Structures are given as structure tokens and as C-alpha cells.
A and B are shown apart, each in its own frame.
Chain A
Amino acid sequence: DGGITQSPKYLFRKEGQNVTLSCEQNLNHDAMYWYRQDPGQGLRLIYYSQIVNDFQKGDIAEGYSVSREKKESFPLTVTSAQKNPTAFYLCASSHRGRPASNQPQHFGDGTRLSIL
């Protein structure tokens, strides 16, 4: 079945530690996105990538890094510089259409990150 797979489902981070969240898709989508969701808030965009080897900062990129070496994969690293990392992290993907905005995004089932 085609879809987006995020792992792990739950992750705990120690102080000063970097952690990496995995996102893999087999939908043949060009574009991939990372969001975080905090209680009572809407999803906020961290990073996005339209094609392999290219990515752009979203609205809250500080303390995060990404790579896009393969079309299928868009891992997110939460660095020690991110002082409030506890949140629900969601990866999404979409086709690149014209206009790009008409392409809905489809989500993985998320990773819950907490501080130890």
C-alpha cells in the first residue's frame, strides 16, 4: 500500500542531544514537508522540500535541520538548539502541480517527541 511512514512513533530526548525523526514515502511525491503541532495550536511548518537536494525553511526552522538526498526520504533532526522540542511532529508529502497550491498534502501518522 502506498503511504507515508514516520518512525519512531514515540521518542524521548535528553538535554543536549540531537535526535532524528524518519519520514519515508512511496507515493512518488516530489514535495515533502515537516510540521509540528502543539496542544491548542494549528500545525506550523518547519521545513519543506520541493525536489531532491533542495529544501527551504518554513515558519519555525530554528533548532531544526533536514536533508533530502532521496526522493522517498526527508529526515528531520531536532538539535539541542531547539529549547522546546516537546510536540507532535508530522511529515507530509504532495505532488508538484501547477499551481503548487492545488495539490493537497497527505500526512504520516506522526512522531511524539518528549524531553526526558
Chain B
Amino acid sequence: RKEVEQDPGPFNVPEGATVAFNCTYSNSASQSFFWYRQDCRKEPKLLMSVYSSGNEDGRFTAQLNRASQYISLLIRDSKLSDSATYLCVVNADTGTASKLTFGTGTRLQVTL
């Protein structure tokens, strides 16, 4: 079983739609969680951290369920510019190091 699993997609949605991505992780000791966005042939960029109480940043909402080891990202009112691959990232603190484990990503294509 992969440490971080995501549906690879692609998710093809019309502009203005709401889309949700899911992610599960296997290491119950994981302590922090992030969503990164990666455009084609570019570096990943931090989209948002994910907090236990859930958090929102504009059109983006992230949720964490520690009991189910499940993370989600909701994008409302999708824009063409949201087209990218969304990476679920989990961090297990070893005490002295920050070790990120990346999912393979979910590709989103927003169309007119």
C-alpha cells in the first residue's frame, strides 16, 4: 500500500464548478499535512496547510480526518487557472527532520 494515495484523475470540470479531491495516508504518526499545486513541468508550490479543525483560503477548503487518515481539498467556483496537478503531502516528524511524503497527485482540467 502506498503511504499517500490519491485518485490520479484527470478531473475534467467546467468553469464555475465545485470539485473535491481526496487523499488517504497510511502512517498514523503523521503530524502535518499540506496541499501543493504543480503545473506541468514546473515545481510544486504550497497551496495550503491542512489543520485538524479544517481551514479555508478563499475558494479552497481543506479538511483533515485523523481517525480515518483522510484529507480532502474542495475548490469552489473553479477557474481556468486552477488547472494543475494537486499533490497531497504528509509529514512525519522524526524529531530532528522534516520528512515529506508526496502523493502522486490528482490532475484537474478546468474547461470553458
Measured CB to CB, the residues of A under 8 A from B are 31, 33, 40-45, 48, 50, 56, 58, 88, 90, 94, 96, 99-110
Contacts and interface: CB of A to CB of B under 8 A. Distances in A.
Interface in B21-58: 31-32, 34, 41-46, 49
Contact of B102 (A42, A50, A106, A110): A42
Given A101-B31, A107-B43, A56 B97 contact: yes
Contacts of B61: none
B42 A109 contact: yes
B6 to A, nearest CB: 9
Tell me whether chain B's interface is mostly helix, strand or loop, or mixed. strand
Nearest to B29: A101
Residues of B in contact with A, size category: 20 to 34
A41 B98 contact: no
B31 to A, nearest CB: 5
A107 B42 CA distance: 10
A70 B98 CA distance: 20
Contacts of A101: 31-32, 91-93, 98-99
A50 B97 contact: yes
Nearest to B100: A105
B104 A31 contact: no
A108 B96 contact: no
